[in-house]
Structure 1
Amino acid sequence: MKKKVLVYLYPQFREVEIMTTLSIIGKKYEVLPFSLLPGTVTSECGLLMQPTIKVKNISPMDYEMLLIPGGKQAFTQGNPRLLHLLQVFNRENIRIAAIGNGAVILGRSGILNGRSYTVSLHEEELTKTNSWLNGTYQSKQIVEDKNLLTAKSHAYIDFGLTIGDRLKCFDGLEEYNFYKGTSSF
């Protein structure tokens, strides 16, 4: 049986930020999308995505990682069930990876307290999220702090490569280089 990775879907999530990651991990892991809403979820570019698991059926210990894409609607993702789920993943030291504005959701859950992170926000958005993003912001492409991995939106390839490396998804350097864009084919 394949190990599992959980992906949070919400309206207008930015699918481009996680597509490389999903391509890399999908060969070795079962990827299970979930949402708090019933039915399909429409991504930023209009893809209709169907969640395959309900929040009430998620047991964090069954997963190697929880993946959170960014998107403008990340600011609205404050449902207590979601925030509690993130807190449990964090408490159990299960990897959580968020890209772009996805780090705002981590901040809302309180798990950035005392931690380093990065996020893709404009100055006015940073002001709106000051009470949530109370860890240590680093102006880097990717920031790892214990079980948390955060990345800027435009670092989606390196985000996928880092996750693939941490989850041991690559069978060799040539496969890694393919995604890096330095492959000979």
Structure 2
Amino acid sequence: MKKKVLVYLYPQFREVEIMTTLSIVGKKYEVLPFSLLPGTVTSECGLMMQPVIKMKNISPIDYEMLIIPGGKQVFTQGNTRLMHLIQVFNREGIKIAAIGNGAAILGRAGVLNNRSYTVSLKEDEFSKAGNWLNGNFSSKQLVEDKNILTAQSHAYIDFGLTIGDRLKCFDGLEEYNFYKGTSSF
């Protein structure tokens, strides 16, 4: 049986930020998308994805990682059940990866406190999320602090490569280089 990775979907999530990651991770892991809402979830560009697991059926210890993309509606993602789920993932030391402004969801859940992180927010958005982002902001493209990985929106390739490396998804350097864009094939 394949190990599992959980992906949180919400309306207008930014699919480009996680597609490389899903391509890499999907080779070795069962990728299970979930949402708070019933039915399909439409991404920023109109891609429709169907969640396959309900939140009430999620047991964090069954997963190797939780992945959270950024998106236009990130500031509406404050559901208490979602916040609790993220807190449990963190408390159990299970890997959590957020890209773009998806890190604001982690901040809202309180798991960035006393942690280093990065996030892609405009100035007005940063002030809106400022009371949640109580960790140590870094302008680096990618920041790893214990079990939490955060990345800037434009670093989606490196985000996927880092996740693939941490989850041991690559069978060799050639496969890694393919995603890096330095492969000979």
Q: Shared fold (TM-score greater than 0.5)?
A: yes
* CA–CA distance in structure 2, aligned partners of residues 77 and 184 of structure 1: 42
Query: Shift in Å at residue 91 of structure 1?
Result: 0.2
- Could you tell me which residue of structure 1 aligns to residue 108 of structure 2? 108
Question: Could you tell me which residue of structure 2 aligns to residue 170 of structure 1?
Answer: 170
Distance 1:54 1:157 in 2: 29
Q: Once the 2 structures are TM-superposed, how far is the Cα of residue 133 of structure 1 from its aligned partner?
A: 0.6
Aligned AA (1:150): T
Cα RMSD, aligned residues only? 0.4
The CA deviation at 1:72 is 1.4
Q: Identity rate of aligned residues, in percent? A: 84
Deviates more, 1:122-131 or 1:97-106: 122-131
Measure the CA separation in 2 of the matches of 1:32 and 1:75. 23
Counterpart residue number, 2:136? 136
Unaligned runs of 5+ in 1: none
How many positions carry a matched residue from both structures?
A: 185
Tell me the distance in 1 between the aligned counterparts of 2:53 and 2:34: 5
- Distance in 1 between residues matched to 2:73 and 2:110, nearest whole Å: 18
Q: What amino acid is the match of 2:129?
A: T
Structure 2: distance between partners of 1:122 and 1:7: 24
TM-score norm. by structure 1 comes to: 0.99
Counterpart CA distance in 1 for 2:129 and 2:48 is: 29
Alignment correspondent of 2:60: 60
Equivalences for residues 1-20 of structure 1 within 5 A: 1-20=1-20
4+ runs deviating over 6 angstroms? none
Structure 2: distance between partners of 1:129 and 1:26: 32
Q: Secondary structure at the match of 1:33?
A: strand
The amino acid across from 2:44 in the alignment is E
- Structure 1 match to 2:117: 117
Residue aligned with 1:101, SS: helix
The corresponding residue for 1:27 is 27
TM-score (norm: length of structure 2): 0.99
AA aligned opposite 1:166 = R
Counterpart CA distance in 1 for 2:126 and 2:33 is 28
Report the counterpart of residue 99 of structure 2 in structure 1: 99
Offset at residue 181 of structure 1 (A): 0.1
